Amino acid sequence: QLQLQESGPGLVKPSETLSLTCNVSGGSISNTAYHWAWVRQSPGKEPEWIGTIFFSGKAYYNPSLKSRVGLSVDTSKNQFSLVLSSVTAADTAVYYCARRVSPFPYQFDYWGLGTLVTVSS
Protein backbone atom coordinates (compact mmCIF):
# COMPACT_ATOMS: atom_id res chain seq x y z
CA GLN A 1 0.00 0.00 0.00
CA LEU A 2 1.47 3.31 -1.06
CA GLN A 3 2.04 5.83 1.73
CA LEU A 4 3.18 9.45 1.57
CA GLN A 5 4.41 11.32 4.63
CA GLU A 6 5.17 15.03 4.80
CA SER A 7 7.82 16.36 7.16
CA GLY A 8 9.24 19.77 7.98
CA PRO A 9 8.94 22.72 10.35
CA GLY A 10 5.46 23.65 11.47
CA LEU A 11 6.38 27.28 12.07
CA VAL A 12 8.18 29.60 9.66
CA LYS A 13 8.91 33.29 10.13
CA PRO A 14 7.69 35.85 7.59
CA SER A 15 10.14 36.47 4.72
CA GLU A 16 11.90 33.16 5.38
CA THR A 17 11.83 29.96 3.33
CA LEU A 18 9.46 27.06 3.90
CA SER A 19 10.97 23.62 3.24
CA LEU A 20 9.05 20.36 3.28
CA THR A 21 9.88 16.80 2.28
CA CYS A 22 7.56 13.99 1.25
CA ASN A 23 8.74 10.45 1.89
CA VAL A 24 7.18 7.83 -0.37
CA SER A 25 6.91 4.23 0.81
CA GLY A 26 5.27 1.16 -0.69
CA GLY A 27 6.16 2.16 -4.24
CA SER A 28 8.95 3.65 -6.30
CA ILE A 29 9.10 7.34 -7.03
CA SER A 30 10.83 6.40 -10.31
CA ASN A 31 7.73 4.66 -11.68
CA THR A 32 6.99 6.52 -14.94
CA ALA A 33 3.26 5.99 -14.51
CA TYR A 34 3.18 8.62 -11.80
CA HIS A 35 4.08 12.21 -11.09
CA TRP A 36 4.49 13.77 -7.67
CA ALA A 37 2.75 16.89 -6.47
CA TRP A 38 2.31 19.39 -3.68
CA VAL A 39 -1.11 20.81 -2.83
CA ARG A 40 -1.93 23.21 -0.03
CA GLN A 41 -5.15 24.18 1.67
CA SER A 42 -5.68 27.34 3.67
CA PRO A 43 -8.24 27.14 6.49
CA GLY A 44 -11.77 27.01 5.13
CA LYS A 45 -10.65 27.12 1.49
CA GLU A 46 -10.40 24.72 -1.40
CA PRO A 47 -7.13 22.94 -2.12
CA GLU A 48 -4.59 24.81 -4.27
CA TRP A 49 -2.16 22.99 -6.57
CA ILE A 50 1.42 24.19 -6.01
CA GLY A 51 3.43 22.14 -8.48
CA THR A 52 4.27 18.73 -9.90
CA ILE A 53 7.59 17.00 -10.50
CA PHE A 54 8.63 13.97 -12.53
CA PHE A 55 11.22 11.47 -11.30
CA SER A 56 13.60 12.98 -13.87
CA GLY A 57 13.49 16.26 -11.99
CA LYS A 58 11.44 18.19 -14.53
CA ALA A 59 8.86 20.29 -12.70
CA TYR A 60 6.06 22.70 -13.45
CA TYR A 61 4.40 25.14 -11.14
CA ASN A 62 1.31 27.16 -10.44
CA PRO A 63 2.01 30.54 -12.06
CA SER A 64 0.70 32.29 -8.94
CA LEU A 65 3.63 30.84 -6.98
CA LYS A 66 6.19 30.20 -9.71
CA SER A 67 8.59 32.98 -8.71
CA ARG A 68 8.87 31.64 -5.15
CA VAL A 69 8.56 27.85 -5.43
CA GLY A 70 10.95 25.03 -6.24
CA LEU A 71 10.49 21.26 -6.32
CA SER A 72 13.20 18.62 -6.29
CA VAL A 73 13.32 14.84 -6.21
CA ASP A 74 15.77 12.38 -4.63
CA THR A 75 15.21 8.98 -6.18
CA SER A 76 17.85 7.34 -3.95
CA LYS A 77 15.80 8.25 -0.88
CA ASN A 78 12.42 7.85 -2.62
CA GLN A 79 11.38 11.33 -1.63
CA PHE A 80 10.62 14.73 -3.11
CA SER A 81 10.76 18.21 -1.64
CA LEU A 82 9.21 21.67 -1.74
CA VAL A 83 10.76 25.03 -1.01
CA LEU A 84 8.74 28.23 -0.91
CA SER A 85 10.62 31.45 -0.38
CA SER A 86 9.64 34.85 1.04
CA VAL A 87 6.66 33.46 2.90
CA THR A 88 3.90 35.62 4.35
CA ALA A 89 0.88 34.90 6.53
CA ALA A 90 -1.02 34.06 3.31
CA ASP A 91 1.16 30.95 2.97
CA THR A 92 -0.20 29.52 6.23
CA ALA A 93 -1.90 26.29 5.21
CA VAL A 94 -1.94 22.53 5.46
CA TYR A 95 0.53 21.27 2.90
CA TYR A 96 -0.12 17.90 1.27
CA CYS A 97 2.05 15.79 -0.98
CA ALA A 98 0.19 13.62 -3.47
CA ARG A 99 0.68 11.18 -6.31
CA ARG A 100 -0.70 12.05 -9.73
CA VAL A 101 -1.54 9.32 -12.21
CA SER A 102 -0.15 9.63 -15.74
CA PRO A 103 -1.48 9.78 -18.38
CA PHE A 104 -5.14 10.92 -18.64
CA PRO A 105 -6.87 12.03 -16.56
CA TYR A 106 -4.08 12.89 -14.17
CA GLN A 107 -6.00 12.44 -10.95
CA PHE A 108 -4.43 12.73 -7.49
CA ASP A 109 -5.01 9.20 -6.22
CA TYR A 110 -2.88 9.06 -3.07
CA TRP A 111 -2.34 11.84 -0.57
CA GLY A 112 -0.21 12.29 2.52
CA LEU A 113 -1.84 13.13 5.84
CA GLY A 114 -0.80 16.76 5.47
CA THR A 115 1.30 19.03 7.64
CA LEU A 116 0.21 22.39 9.00
CA VAL A 117 2.66 25.20 8.34
CA THR A 118 2.07 28.46 10.16
CA VAL A 119 3.83 31.64 9.08
CA SER A 120 4.28 33.86 12.09
CA SER A 121 7.00 35.76 13.89
Closest CA to 22 of 47, 40, 43, 45: 40
Quick one: 13 or 60, whose CB is closer to other proteins? 60
Length of the chain: 121
Closest CA to 18 of 64, 62, 68: 68
Minimal distance in Å, beta carbon 16 to other proteins? 25
Which spans of this chain sit near other proteins (rule: CB under 8 A)?
A: 45-49, 60, 62-64, 96, 100-101, 104-109, 111-114
Quick one: 28 or 106, whose CB is closer to other proteins? 106
Minimal distance in Å, beta carbon 7 to other proteins? 15
Cα distances (angstroms) measured from residue 15 to each of 20, 33, 89, 101, 121:
16, 37, 10, 34, 10
Q: 68: which DSSP letter?
A: T
Minimal distance in Å, beta carbon 121 to other proteins? 26
Minimal distance in Å, beta carbon 94 to other proteins? 8
Quick one: 11 or 113, whose CB is closer to other proteins? 113
Closest CA to 117 of 8, 2, 25, 27: 8
Quick one: 16 or 41, whose CB is closer to other proteins? 41
